[in-house]
Amino acid sequence: MVWQEKVPSVVMITNLVEGKKTKCEQYWPSSGSQDFGPFHVSITHQLILADYTI
């Protein structure tokens, strides 16, 4: 659906792990960029704070 609708940005509003329970898998590269088939995923900005990352 992201590709179909030509969405330019994806934002996640949960932590990967909350209370020892995995809430989401990390679907972005830790740094730089990564290709997933025809899709190129890159981090353009990242701000790491105490309780969350922007």
Task: Name 6's Cβ contacts closer than 8 Å, sequence gap at least 6.
Answer: none
Q: Where are the domains of the chain?
A: 1-54
The number of beta carbons lying within 10 Å of the beta carbon of residue 49 is 7
Place of tokens 């830790």: 30
What are the pLDDT digits (tens) for 8-53? 888 878 888 889 999 988 878 888 899 988 888 888 888 888 877 7
pTM beyond 0.85: the answer is no
